[in-house]
Structure 1
């Protein structure tokens, strides 16, 4: 594990994350194996949760990798390039005083990624597990995209970089607080510069859309998604609130989701091909 802790990955590595009493522990396994992640009682198997970790000597024992505070890297030749940047992201404490659970960046990144999910910020479950979208909203997003857990966590093709990399806490009126602005100022541009092969970016939620597209109504953008193609595809946030929103806006399932699935399939490339909604 010493090599992993120094980010000296010489070949794609796959990590096994197993539930421990207070945290997720990491044990390296041979590339090509799969592993099961138990996230709050729900077991899932991922074959491409790869890359990563930090060696944290506080709270977990000397030299113990901490799964909850990590990014995912893939590509044998990219770890050395990405490593120093990820190390700086991992050690960032710019907004630590405002984070009720402390800093714990959660993202998924690879130079070979062709699809970027620009989301809001990790929730409490993602903060606890260190796995982006490891909750009901992630299940919903994967259904919208029409891809499996394995495809979603294939870091070689899918990057996940939220507007804020750490859980921001709760808002006074309920729900999660807005993403802290420090992340986008400090880290977004350097991180996205590591993604030279992007074909499509999903702008998930109002915060991501306003950061990229400026002010505007989320529903209008989602309904007229074709205005932002081929680079961007705006989506609502897939929280439990989206269920009621979808009921009130049936055009989302009828018109938007079929095109979203085709665009996602097209961006992911071979093995993910699909037909356009009209069958073309």
Structure 2
């Protein structure tokens, strides 16, 4: 016999969840996303022993348990990722942006990169592999990897991936060079780990104790925020970005119409953004 289908989350409960994630993480859940909330919160509801997601949310409203509420926020953050996602972006970094950056930085300068919304780590480790291949041998670098979700950040920090995850975009030569077999999975090698720091950070909140970065990768995350929040995030990014540093967004994202203090420059398949006061004769996007 087929099990009865669980009733969809109620309108009141959806409204509560929408308000919660907007307040805590500035993530916008528009009406029509009920299916997403239902799917993401179903494991939490099962773990709590409640009959449905609506029951789980109603119980959460009554208890006010902060840890459980944050678990809901983490469950509703999107963590879709893969190795070298959007290859044109990484090719533009390799052939254009990194050489340009090295040409204007002393070899004694430590290049600093920030991978915001790092998720389970594929992007930050992809960046680390790219830097290992592309930077001058004497060039030092540091990478900060952040995410709002402690759960996915811990996975990234652990650096262990299944064979299925490894198959999503990782070139064979990088597998051999940078990873170690561990049972049925793979572990990131020490060479990639040594220059990466992982830290929980909410992009919608003030940035605390961040250094100045040469490159900020903030890809495929602004699309989840409303316009005022996007504007606030971009303003704070400019405050921690070197005056001639670069911001890299997702291929479907842009600063246009949100923050006019950035100028877009196209490098082949990569569009990067820098503070507008550092305009140059480069072809504008």
**Pairwise same-fold verdict (TM > 0.5):** no
The structure with the largest helix share of the pair is: 2
> Which is greater in Rg?
2
